[in-house]
Amino acid sequence: MLTRRGFAGFASCALCSLTGILAIEAEAQTPPAATPGVKRRVLGQTEGPAPGYVTITAEVEIEPGVLVGRHTHPGIESGYILEGEIELPIEGQPTRVLKAGDGFQVPAGVPHAGSKSGAKPVRLVSTYIVEKGKPLASPA
């Protein structure tokens, strides 16, 4: 059984980022039909880190002015901003503005969103360690 401490240890080394609502199943290898203004590309997927979990890594590009709706994930999301800037409201935390070089984590099941208001797109990498067989994201 994966404990909270063990799960956090596995997730701490994951390179992740905000991707918004992804309408793919955790077991899927390919991204869903594109959300207007958001491009996603699955970079890798592997079983684990424990039975019943899958790790998915995706590259995401969000165009200026796009609002990523409030959503949750059935596991931890960790992110790293490659280029640009984005506002990241995570429930129970102050809204942060993240820039290239910034990282973040969103705990399992915690609602969060995002918005891109600058003149340039934001690019990031997200890694999700989520329960296998559950949707990667659900509206909150």
Residue 4 has pLDDT above 50, yes or no: no
> DSSP assignment, residue 135?
B
- Report the pLDDT value the prediction gives residue 35, as an integer from 0 to 100: 61
- Is 4-139 CATH 3.20.20.70? no
d(CA 59, CA 36): 16
pLDDT (tens digit, 9 = 90+) per residue, 6-55?
A: 433 333 333 233 333 333 333 343 334 346 888 889 999 999 999 999 99
pLDDT (tens digit, 9 = 90+) per residue, 81-129?
A: 999 999 999 999 999 999 999 999 999 999 999 887 778 999 999 999 9
Residue 135 has pLDDT above 70, yes or no: yes
- Report the pLDDT value the prediction gives residue 116, as an integer from 0 to 100: 79
pTM here is: 0.74
Distances (CA, A) of 50 to 54, 74, 111: 8, 14, 24
- Report the pLDDT value the prediction gives residue 48, as an integer from 0 to 100: 96
Q: Where are the domains of the chain?
A: 4-139
Confidence class for position 75, pLDDT limits 50, 70, 90: very high
In degrees rounded to 5, what are phi and psi of residue 103?
-120, 165
Strand order in the sheet with 75-83: 38-47, 53-62, 122-131, 75-83, 103-106
